[in-house]
Structure 1
């Protein structure tokens, strides 16, 4: 007996749906259940139903504050650096050198983020950039173990993830539109604002959300470049699960982080759709 179109669709979606439920929904459900439990006397999880863990969330306010401050700032900084670079690679560079330069952008990913972060310890430490400031007469500059050091590390670490979505969007840009605008006497800055930037926004939105989501769960860079003074929520989770072994409280912190991310992503998606509609309306005028 032949399958109907609806049955075929469900048959094709079932394997992916089972993997999604097993690898994403089930772990989230376990974390949610743990968040209402208690800490065992010897550490770990003890069954229960209490909101005590959520009531203790203000104890990790500093971690949430740092994450919600440095993650957006790092995303914005990466965007401001990545967009000119992606524009240069997609529009200005000849095809002869394009592949080579793209490889150079991705080369840092061939090395562990741990090694790259330790390299920044030297650059931002007393014998690195601060030593240059001392040499020119500016003394007392401290960069390592500060929020600025963490910001530098996350921008450097996640920059390629911002560059490539923007590059792909700009690579698809019809150059004839820019040539037509130039023939009509449109200034370059206006062509950029009215043609290049709107058409590259899908790449900007993709890169921004990709980097932001990853930064919300970052823990390695703050641990290395923050020196234990700049905590992210990821660092708090490592401490709660692996050191203090308070799985219930750690689960509550994880659930709170997921909720915050869902709210931010939802608002971001609505703004993106509004921008897309507005852009289409402008294009039709």
Structure 2
């Protein structure tokens, strides 16, 4: 007979206590310290006094930082949209691929996770730079066509940052989409096609509504890392392409203004909580509508 875990409090506590203690000690406590710093003041080179001030949160509303926040939100949203446009057909193709091909396709999607992000970013820089593979290939083509060619500015701008974010975050959207699409009832798709609906209409009216929870989860999983990205805009972007994570890094490392950096960090975290809460509300409404 299967044991009732609600009554087996002792074994459950033994299993749950070590990871809970680990999370509390190395996640909750450091976050609480940084959160306390956001209400403090620098009183020395390495000393912060917790005074309860909200000055740093008010300072974050200055037009300079507000513009960077809005730009970060815009670039993260654009990245998420492009990942959806590219990732949905890929996830759909993997879902309906033969079993042997499906395993290899999933392996190709997960392969970037086995390579360090810094190495992948430098590889993308080699592709996009002025003497990179893209400009070299276009120059070779222009030379054979007898057309004058000037190397394209593909690096150190907003285009490079968005392209790099899509490149980095695309697997985060493809995998949840695949998991949602793979659970679909194939008989519904066959019935739609048999009743005369084309493939595009079947995708629009059958596949997308049924896979909507997975789509929303994938969008959230993609949007949050894109919003907090630091390395990609730092290496691929220019002076006008910096995101809020780069500003936070400068406050902690260069400006030595830990309270302001902590305030910016938690504003970013509050935005993340709002996004998660929004996704939960939408999911709850959808469940109530389906009852």
1:115 is paired with a residue of what secondary structure?
Answer: helix
User: Which stretch of structure 1 is more off in the superposition, 124-133 or 77-86?
Assistant: 124-133
| 1:101 and 2:68 are equivalent in the alignment | no
Show the counterpart of 1:169: 180
Contact 2:189 2:206 in 1 (8 A): yes
In the other structure, the counterpart of 2:66 is: 61
Counterpart residue number, 2:89 = 84
| Alignment check: 8 A CA contact 1:133 1:139 kept | no
5 Å-filtered alignment, 1:1-285, equals: 5=6, 8=9, 11=13, 17-43=20-46, 45-57=48-60, 58=62, 59-91=64-96, 93-128=97-132, 129-130=134-135, 135=142, 137=148, 139=150, 141-278=152-289, 280=290
**Structure 1: runs of 5+ lacking an equivalent:** none
Aligned 8 A contact 1:34 1:247 in 2: yes
- Contact 1:130/1:142, CA 8 A, preserved across alignment: no
Secondary structure in 2 aligned to 1:173? coil
8 Å contact kept, 2:130–2:151: no
How far residue 194 of structure 1 moved from its aligned partner, in angstroms, is 2.3
TM-score, length basis structure 2: 0.84
Indicate the larger mover: 115-124 or 147-156. Answer: 115-124
Distance 2:239 2:44 in 1: 27
Partners of 2:5 and 2:108 lie apart in 1 by: 50
Runs of 4+ in 1 over 6 A off after TM superposition: none
- Work out whether residues 124 and 143 of structure 1, in 8 Å CA contact, stay in contact via their aligned partners in 2: yes
Following superposition, the deviation at residue 237 of structure 1 comes to 1.5
Deviates further, 206-215 or 223-232: 223-232
Q: Is the 8 A contact 1:43 1:244 kept in 2?
A: no
State the alpha-carbon separation in 2 of the partners of residues 209 and 172 from structure 1.
Answer: 20
Q: In structure 2, list runs of 5 or more residues that go unmatched.
A: none
How many pairs does the alignment contain? 277
Flag the 1:263–1:138 CA change in 2: closer, same or farther, 3 A.
farther
* C-alpha distance in structure 2 between counterparts of 1:35 and 1:64, whole Å: 17
Distance 1:44 1:247 in 2: 10
Indicate conservation of the 8 Å contact 1:37/1:49, yes or no.
yes
Q: Deviations over 1:99-155 (max 9, x none)?
A: 112111222222111111112222222123345556354647422111111000010
SS in 1 for 2:180: helix
> Which has the higher mean CA deviation after the structures are superposed, 55-64 or 146-155?
55-64
Structure with the bigger RCO (C-alpha within 8 Å, sep 6+) is 1
Q: Give the 3 Å change call, closer, same or farther, for CA 189–18 of structure 1 in structure 2.
A: same
